[in-house]
Amino acid sequence: MKTTVIRIALLLFAAYTLPACSAFDDAADAKRVQYISIRLKTGFVLPGLEDFSNLKITLTNHDEALVIERPFASDLAIDGLIPGIYDILLSGRAENATGEAFLMSGSIEKRALLDDGEEIPLSADGVHVEPLIFKEIYYCGSKTPSNTNWFRDQFYEIYNNSLDVIYLDGLHFANLHPTAATATLPEWPAADGGHYVYAERIWKIPGNGTDYPLAPGESFVISQFAANHQLEVYNPNSPVNCAASEFEFNMNNANFPDQPAVDMVHVFYNGQNIMNMPQYLTSVFGGAYVIFRVPEGESYDPVGNPDLQTPNLAASGATLYGKVPIAYVLDAVEAVNNDAAAQYKRVPAILDAGATTVGGTYLGQSVARKCIGQNPDGTPILQDTNNSTEDFDRNLVPRFRRHDSKMPAWNHTLSNH
C-alpha cells in the first residue's frame, strides 16, 4: 500500500511540473529583442540652405516612452533603436548663404521602424524668420469701475525671434493711415508705385548705436503711458501694470507724468516733428502698425524731405502722411474692429496678408503671436507667416513676457541697471 501511495505522489508531481518546465523551455527558446539601425535622408523644399547647426532630429516611441534626439545631418544613421512605432520630427532653424534664417519643419507620424538598415526619406520645408516681430499688442483699452473708457494702458511688445543680438537704437515705430479700418480708403500718388506704406505718426528709439541690445529670446515693451494703470488714480480695472515697460510715448502731459521708462523720440506728425497734443494713442478699434529700420548708409527724414510726405489724394484736407519704404519694414501687423473689417486693408499683403482683432473696444483684451517651438536654449520661437489672421491668438488677458520671453538687462527695474 505504501508503495502504491508513493507512485501516485510521483505521478501527481510530474503532472504539475511538466507544464512549468515546458513554459520555461519556451521562454528560454524565445528570441531576444534585436536593436536596429536606420538611415534618415532629408530633402529640403527650400533651395540654398547652408547652415544646419541649429537643426535637430527627434524620434519618439510613445509606447516605450522613448525619446531620441540627434543633431541634424542630411544622411543620418541612427543606431540602437527598439523596433516599434515612431514619430519622426525635424525642427529648428537653417540659414542660407546670406544669413537669412528659416524655421524648418518636417515630420513623419506613426512610422513602423522594424527592419534593420532601412532608409527613410524625410521632406522638410521652412518659413522665413524675421528677427524683430510684434509679439503682443494691446490696443482696445479697458473700462473703469464707473464704466467710463480708459485707453491709456495700450502697449506694444516686440520680440527678438532671431539667434543674434539686435541693437534697438534707431528702430522706428509707426501707425499707418487710416487710423482705423474703413471702407473709405485713401488714394496715394500713382508715382509711388506701391513701394511705401503711409504713416500718420512715426517715432524711434533713441541711442548711439549700441545702447539698447536685445538678446535672442528677449522682448521689449513700448507703452502709451508706462505707469501702473491698476492704481486707484488711474483705472483699478485695467488688466495691466505697465511700469516695467522699456519705452513710452511720453507726451509731457502733467496729468500723466513722465515715467522711468525711456522716452521714444517723436519723428513725424503732419509734416512736423513737434508734439502738439497732450496724448498719443492708436485707435481702440485697431490700428496698422509697423516697425522699420533705415539701412546703414541711407538717410530718412520725412519732415525735411518733401518727397517722403504726401496728402491723401482722396481727401479735401491738407494733412500730410509720412512715406515709409516697404523695403525698410521689419514687421507689420494690421488690427481691425471685427473680422468683417479685414477687407479694408491698410497694409500691403506682402507685409501682412491678413488681420487680427479682439472684436470690440474697451474689453481689456489683447492679441499675441503664437509660440510654435523652442530654440536649443529654451527660448520661444514665434510664428511669423506675414498673415496676422493665422499668426495671432486673440482675446487674451494682456501680459508682458508671455511664453517666458526675457527682460533685457538694461530695463530700469533691474537692480544691475
Domain co-membership, 156 together with 278: yes
- The CATH number given to whatever domain includes residue 76 is 2.60.40
DSSP per-residue codes, 239-250: S-B-TT-SEE--
Domain co-membership, 166 together with 249: yes
Decide: helix, strand or coil at residue 201: strand
Domain co-membership, 96 together with 188: no
State which amino acid sits at residue 9. A
DSSP per-residue codes, 370-416: PEEEE-TTS-EEE--SS-HHHHEEEEEPP-TTGGGPBPPTT-TTSTT
CB atoms within 10 A of CB 232: 7
pLDDT at 372: 86
DSSP per-residue codes, 298-327: ----TTT-GGGEEE-TTSSS--EEEEEEGG
* Three-class DSSP labels, 16-47: HHHHHHHHHHHHHHCCCCCCEEEEEEEEECCC
Pairing of strands 262-263, 247-248: parallel
- 282 within domain boundaries: yes
pLDDT at 376: 75
Domain co-membership, 376 together with 310: yes
- 147 within domain boundaries: yes
- 17 within domain boundaries: no
Going by C-beta distance under 8 Å and a sequence separation of 6 or more, which residues neighbour residue 291?
Answer: 132, 134, 158, 171, 172, 173, 174, 329, 330, 331
Closest among 363, 337, 333, 365 to 347, alpha carbons compared? 333
Domain co-membership, 198 together with 241: yes
Report the alpha-carbon distance of residue 91 to residue 374 in Å, rounded. 9
Domain co-membership, 383 together with 317: yes
User: CA–CA distance from 160 to each of 166, 171, 214, 302 (Å)?
Assistant: 7, 13, 7, 27
Going by C-beta distance under 8 Å and a sequence separation of 6 or more, which residues neighbour residue 100?
Answer: 128
Is 30:23 a contact under the CB 8 Å cutoff?
no
Per-residue pLDDT tens for 329-371?
999 999 999 999 999 999 998 899 999 999 999 999 999 999 9
Report the alpha-carbon distance of residue 46 to residue 384 in Å, rounded. 17
- 23 within domain boundaries: no
pLDDT at 82: 95
Domain co-membership, 93 together with 158: no
Domain residues for the domain of 57 are: 36-128
| Helices (H), ranges, 162-247 | none
State which amino acid sits at residue 116. D
- 18 within domain boundaries: no
Domain co-membership, 107 together with 243: no
pLDDT at 166: 96
Closest among 218, 67, 198 to 135, alpha carbons compared? 218
Of 103, 128, 153, the position where a domain reaches its end is 128
Of 73, 98, 128, the position where a domain reaches its end is 128
Per-residue pLDDT tens for 31-80?
567 999 999 999 999 899 999 988 999 999 989 899 999 999 999 999 99
User: CA–CA distance from 239 to each of 141, 336, 394 (Å)?
Assistant: 9, 21, 15
Task: Take residue 44 and report the three cell numbers written for it.
Answer: 529640403
Handedness of CA 347, 396, 358, 232 (dihedral sign): negative
Domain co-membership, 116 together with 158: no
Owner of C-alpha cell 527695474? 413
- 2 within domain boundaries: no
pLDDT at 32: 66
Task: Take residue 323 and report the three cell numbers written for it.
Answer: 512715406
Of 128, 143, 176, the position where a domain reaches its end is 128
Task: Take residue 130 and report the three cell numbers written for it.
Answer: 524675421
pLDDT at 416: 54
Domain co-membership, 205 together with 289: yes
Domain co-membership, 183 together with 328: yes
Q: CA 154, 157, 159: angle at the middle one, nearest 5?
A: 175
Q: Which residues of the chain have pLDDT under 50?
A: 1-30, 417
pLDDT at 276: 80
Report the alpha-carbon distance of residue 411 to residue 336 in Å, rounded. 31
Closest among 345, 327, 329 to 389, alpha carbons compared? 345
- 60 within domain boundaries: yes
- 414 within domain boundaries: no
pLDDT at 98: 86
Report the alpha-carbon distance of residue 85 to residue 77 in Å, rounded. 18
Domain co-membership, 118 together with 147: no
- The total number of structural domains that make up the chain: 2
pLDDT at 91: 84
| Helices (H), ranges, 123-183 | none
Q: Give me the count of residues in the chain.
A: 417
Is 158:291 a contact under the CB 8 Å cutoff?
yes
Closest among 165, 250, 174, 248 to 212, alpha carbons compared? 165
